[in-house]
Amino acid sequence: MKVIILTGGGDAPGLNAVIRGFVKRACQLGIEVYGSEDGFEGLLNPAVPLLRMDDRSVRGILHKGGSILGCSNKSNPFAMPIEKGSKETRDCSAEVVAKIREHNIDALVMVGGDGTMYYGRRFAALGVPCIGVPKTIDNDLAGTDRTFGFETAVNTATWAIDALHSTAEAHERVMILEVMGRYAGWIALASGMAGGADVILIPEIPYKVDRVVGKIKERAASGRPFTIIVCAEGAAPRGGHVAEIEQVARPGQLKRLGGAGERLAHELEGEVDHEIRVTVLGHIQRGGTPSAFDRLLGMRMGVHAAECCDRRAFGRMVVLNGTTIRSIPLDEIPEGPRLVDPEGQLVNTARAVDIELGAGPGETIPPPRAQSVG
């Protein structure tokens, strides 16, 4: 058996653990493994050869961030720009299928987010045997209870909150930390709770500015003249819209979110007697050494993907359900992202420890509909 593995979309801590687990187990099972560089780029560029991979290819990579195969969130094989920077696109999926058949490849293993899984369903419909491995730091991919990369991102954000506490207290400031997550609040909620934030704003709970102001004033009146606010990049005020840096420029591209922290700072100016500072954590959340949990989860998913190939159990996505790694059909992945339940246990726990979420119990209104590449 010959298989190709690629890492699509943005990078996430733990990708190399997946690659290592997959390659090592596949070699034990007598499977030939090839790697496609930079996601689908390696399958679309005739000048780029496929990389033959074995045990030696994956030595010393377990602790490294990024991906030894490279990533690309611009390579949509079903809508590739005609030329660099062009908004005109063409369907290149037939070229991918042709290259797979030219090299007598038996399966395509795609490690990626909702966009990559969407491509997997389409390639499966074209007759390409596919296996998906879910990846996103946002933890919002439906069908799996956890994605690797999420815990490392939360650890990084929690470290940032810890660092901001000391300077916020020293200067009696309101510190706003903007974190990633797109339309899901998992990173903001988990890191905010772990870091002891006073206010956490997430996309699933559109916030009322006066509640945030009230929390800051309440803390000042009780002798705590500083406030730590964690704001998800997709958070928005009630009746408002998600802040965006860049609109969609081509089919399949996601909007670039950003500016939620600065917007909140402007909303608070003149309402509170504090200096306000904004920190945007950005891509620091994607980089660095993956946590032990993300290495283990990635490794387990990679091994399971290799075993699915050996069983020829194609058209499936590897998932974590509870503590068990298994797989589900790509066609059965629920539509839309997996979001925080605004009335769920995690949110209720945050309220129980006096964290302000911008709206009270039962006050949540449906947020703007999340959009995905699919």
pLDDT tens per residue across span 290-310: 999 999 999 999 999 999 999
Rounded Cα distance, 25 and 53, in Å: 12
CB of 25 closer than 8 Å to CB of 306: yes
pLDDT at 73: 78
3-state SS assignment for residue 13? coil
pLDDT at 372: 37
Helices of type H across the chain:
15-28, 41-44, 93-102, 114-125, 150-171, 186-194, 209-221, 260-268, 292-311, 345-352
> What is each CA distance from 93 to 39, 115, 129, 217, in whole angstroms?
14, 14, 14, 57
| Phi-psi domain of 20 (left: phi exceeds 0; alpha: psi -120 through 50; beta: other) | alpha
Rounded Cα distance, 150 and 208, in Å: 28
pLDDT at 253: 56
Q: Which two tokens stand for residue 208?
A: 């009322």
Place of tokens 């690659």: 19
- Provide CATH 3.40.50.450 ranges for the chain: 2-148+290-332
pLDDT at 57: 95
CB of 233 closer than 8 Å to CB of 185: no
Q: Which two tokens stand for residue 235?
A: 């958070």
CB of 35 closer than 8 Å to CB of 69: yes
pLDDT at 242: 87
pLDDT at 360: 87
109 forms bridges with which residues in the sheet?
A: 5, 131
54 is catalytic: no
Rounded Cα distance, 206 and 241, in Å: 9
User: Closest by alpha carbon to 14, among 85, 63, 52?
Assistant: 63
Active site residue: 138, 140, 198, 294, which one? 138
CB of 60 closer than 8 Å to CB of 32: no
Sign (positive/negative) of CA torsion 371, 372, 373, 374? negative
Q: What is the pLDDT along the chain (374 residues), one digit of tens a residue?
A: 999 999 998 899 999 999 999 999 999 999 999 999 999 988 988 888 899 999 999 999 999 999 999 998 778 899 888 877 677 888 999 999 999 999 999 999 999 999 999 999 999 999 999 999 999 999 999 999 999 999 999 999 999 999 999 999 999 999 999 999 999 999 999 999 999 999 999 999 999 999 999 999 999 999 999 999 999 999 999 988 888 876 655 555 567 787 899 999 999 999 999 999 999 999 999 989 999 999 999 999 999 999 999 999 999 999 999 999 999 999 999 988 999 999 999 999 999 999 999 998 877 765 554 443 32
**Which CATH number, 3.40.50.460, 1.20.190.20, 3.40.50.300, 2.60.40.790, labels domain 152-287+341-352?**
3.40.50.460
User: Closest by alpha carbon to 274, among 354, 334, 212, 350?
Assistant: 212
Rounded Cα distance, 112 and 26, in Å: 19
- Report pTM: 0.92
CB of 202 closer than 8 Å to CB of 165: no
Rounded Cα distance, 22 and 5, in Å: 9
Residue 219's φ and ψ, nearest 5 degrees, are -65, -40
The CATH code of the domain at 2-148+290-332 is 3.40.50.450
Rounded Cα distance, 117 and 374, in Å: 9
pLDDT at 328: 97
- Provide CATH 3.40.50.460 ranges for the chain: 152-287+341-352
pLDDT at 258: 79
What is the pLDDT of the chain when averaged over all its residues?
91
pLDDT at 216: 96
